[in-house]
Structure 1
Amino acid sequence: MFAPPDCWVWDFWFADDGERHHLFFLYASRALHDPEDRHYRASIGHAVSTDLVEWTRVPDALVRADAPAFDDLATWTGSVVRHPDGTWFLFYTGSTRAPGGRNVQRIGYATSTDLTTWHKAGPGPVLSADPTLYETLDTGQWHDEAFRDPWVFPDPDGDGWHMLITARATTGPAFERGVVGHAVSADLRTWELRPPLSAPAAHGFGQLEVTQTEVVDGKPLLLFSCLAEHASDSRRATGTRGGIWAAPAGSLLGPFDVGAARQVTDDRYYSGKLVRRRDGSWALMGFHHTGPDGAFTGGISDPMPVSWDGHRLTVEGPAAEGPSVDALPAAVG
């Protein structure tokens, strides 16, 4: 478990340089006292490991910018990929305050030659919500302008790059508008926003956080997280506390059957990420969200082996230091 004693740690993502796993994570000082305040004090930390279990913290990756800037409130969740020329790209969410204290989220990136020293591109973001495609703050339907968590990966056919985005549709009930936003790029530097890869429909999710798409056991899937407080009444009526979810996918680019998503963990774990180990097997990691007393916990789990049958992502063994997820109920959707 990765849990520095002086800070809360939550959302995270990985890069693999062939010798070490690099963990990038959101953190904020425990001197804030209230963990709910962590979101607006978030920086992006960095740690390294050879086994995904024992981690060594190294210098931070990114911090918020001076105002005015699209990331002058906080730097939030992202992903890291490597350009064919060897340059590493860290895509991240920049948050800034809007009138009334609510926040607007946009997407930027930084580059590095060694995964250690990062330089922001800018000064502006590379992507923001287009109101013709995605819900924006002025609609009054949500507590923020949800446009974040860029998950970037190469096109399966070798034609450029794709980005999945936590976003919301422009129509539908407020707690069913969560969609998989989409953008494309030829060079990682210039991006074109496109319509979402999923429909809001009646799936019951107000937002699909920290999306990830992978092929596990020969079958594609969409991984995302959603808490009960951001789900529809029908979802909450099942008794779900929310957590990490997995949905069937036709390919890495969909279609994504969000309505058929099944719960992988409850809210003891959140912001799940699938990571490939050195032996080629897949494991799930999540941050510890809710403790036995119902309070926020923080800290990132050890890897848990998983299997995917095309319908359900099964956690084969719990993290050594965390509560078991083997006994979780079946799908609640």
Structure 2
Amino acid sequence: MSLQLPDKWIWDSWYVQVNGLTHAFYLHASKALGDPDRRHRHPIVGHAISTDLTTWTVVQDALIVSDSPAFDDGTTWTGSVVQADDGLWWMFYTGTSRAEDTQVQRVGAATSPDLLTWTKVSTNALVEADPSYYEQLDLTLWHDQAWRDPWVFRFPGERTWQMLITARANVGDPRVRGVLGHATSEDLHTWTVQPPLSQPDQGFGQQEVFQFEIVDGVPILLFCCGVAELSPERRAAGELGGIYSLPVDARLERVDFSAAVLFDRTDLYASRLLQDTDGGWVLLGFINIVDGEFVGVLSDPIPVTADPVLGLVHRALPVPQTAHAYASVER
């Protein structure tokens, strides 16, 4: 059974896999809000643990909004978790403030010795959009200042930390300014905002919830986009938005979102790539809209692999042999 809470909606999630356990961190909000669209302004970062990606044990929540004034006294949104060289866990997450009507997004962090109890690093953000490269709040161009969903990782064999961020360029057609935001750090605390790793005008108003992984030998950039943020050309082609994947080079030096491919499970959103107990890759995301209604539960794992042109594709599972088949082999 997937992770579902009878009195709450679940949406974006991120994961840590360590010592045979998968820790899921996820946004959730009470169904007492009535309208599921209100969940975005009332999120809590929850936490659940699983050994098989299907049966989950809910533990104490990880994060809530800070007391004012703070960069995250309005909302705490999607992030990622990494372990520093000294063993301390760092959760990077998106924050917005009440003073700015939650319209300006920034990235902050919390730390934990055990993945259970989290302490926020600062009431100030650690990473903010640099106007030299990235669009600032202008409600005539876009509905917010996009700078969220930090995905933190290292390239193999390197010490520099990389952060991929949902962002928009400060040039180009406002309908398709979505770019791959980028920042780097040597210590996880001090970050340098870099130019974007892609160009605008490549089919997306924004690309959400990035993840970079090498899937069965193929470097893959995973993200999602809603139908309202797609280019007119993609909408005209019949795309309804959802989960996208993009084959890239191993150092993200040639990122062209024009080649991004929509995954066929369009009921899912904000999915993540994980490995199951056998080492195969799977997707987990939240079930979004079904028959016009928001569902808000996490999916069961979907086996996937990667193609250097098609991106993520379904992975066929081995067909169990029957007793008759074994008997035939023995003869």
TM-score when scaled to structure 2?
0.92
SS for the counterpart of 1:299 is: strand
Counterpart selection for 2:302 from 295, 304, 311: 304
Name the counterpart of 1:144.
Answer: 144
Q: Are 1:232 and 2:222 matched, yes or no?
A: no
Q: Are 1:166 and 2:192 matched, yes or no?
A: no
**Aligned pair in 2 of structure 1 residues 204, 72: CA closer, same or farther (>3 Å)?**
same
What pairs with 1:261-276 in structure 2 (closer than 5 Å)? 261-276=260-275
Name the aligned partner's letter for residue 131 of structure 2.
P
What pairs with 1:208-247 in structure 2 (closer than 5 Å)? 208-247=207-246
Q: Distance in 1 between matches of 2:32 and 2:264?
A: 29
Q: Distance in 2 between matches of 1:139 and 1:170?
A: 13
Name the counterpart of 1:133.
Answer: 133
Name the counterpart of 2:114.
Answer: 114
Q: Distance in 2 between matches of 1:140 and 1:133?
A: 18
**Aligned pair in 2 of structure 1 residues 116, 205: CA closer, same or farther (>3 Å)?**
same
Q: Distance in 2 between matches of 1:235 and 1:87?
A: 43
Greater Cα shift, 152-161 or 125-134: 152-161
Identity of aligned residues (%): 49
Structure 1: where are the runs of 5+ without partners?
319-333
Is the 2:203–2:257 contact (alpha carbons within 8 Å) kept by the matching residues of 1?
A: no
SS for the counterpart of 1:159 is: coil
Aligned residues: 315
Name the aligned partner's letter for residue 165 of structure 1.
I
SS for the counterpart of 1:212 is: strand
Name the aligned partner's letter for residue 90 of structure 1.
M
Name the aligned partner's letter for residue 289 of structure 1.
N
What pairs with 1:86-125 in structure 2 (closer than 5 Å)? 86-97=87-98, 101=101, 103-125=103-125
RMSD: 1.5
Name the aligned partner's letter for residue 301 of structure 1.
S
Name the counterpart of 2:329.
Answer: none
| Residue deviations 1:80-123 (CA, integer Å, cap 9, x gap) | 00011110000000012465x46111000000000000000012
Q: Distance in 2 between matches of 1:216 and 1:103?
A: 35
Q: Are 1:21 and 2:22 matched, yes or no?
A: yes
| Residue deviations 1:197-228 (CA, integer Å, cap 9, x gap) | 11113x21000100111111211011100011
Is the 2:72–2:123 contact (alpha carbons within 8 Å) kept by the matching residues of 1?
A: no
Is the 2:166–2:209 contact (alpha carbons within 8 Å) kept by the matching residues of 1?
A: yes
**Aligned pair in 2 of structure 1 residues 252, 302: CA closer, same or farther (>3 Å)?**
farther
Name the aligned partner's letter for residue 74 of structure 1.
T
Is the 2:27–2:45 contact (alpha carbons within 8 Å) kept by the matching residues of 1?
A: yes
Q: Distance in 2 between matches of 1:177 and 1:72?
A: 28
Is the 1:98–1:104 contact (alpha carbons within 8 Å) kept by the matching residues of 2?
A: no
What pairs with 1:57-96 in structure 2 (closer than 5 Å)? 57-96=58-97
| Residue deviations 1:64-90 (CA, integer Å, cap 9, x gap) | 011221111110000000011110000
Name the counterpart of 1:51.
Answer: 52
SS for the counterpart of 2:40 is: helix
SS for the counterpart of 2:203 is: coil
| Residue deviations 1:151-205 (CA, integer Å, cap 9, x gap) | 000132312210000000011111211111001111111111100111113x210
Q: Distance in 2 between matches of 1:96 and 1:102?
A: 5
**Structure showing greater Rg:** 2
Shift of 1:138: 3.1
Q: Distance in 2 between matches of 1:88 and 1:102?
A: 27
SS for the counterpart of 1:48 is: strand
Shift of 1:266: 4.8
Structure 2: where are the runs of 5+ without partners?
318-331
SS for the counterpart of 1:234 is: helix
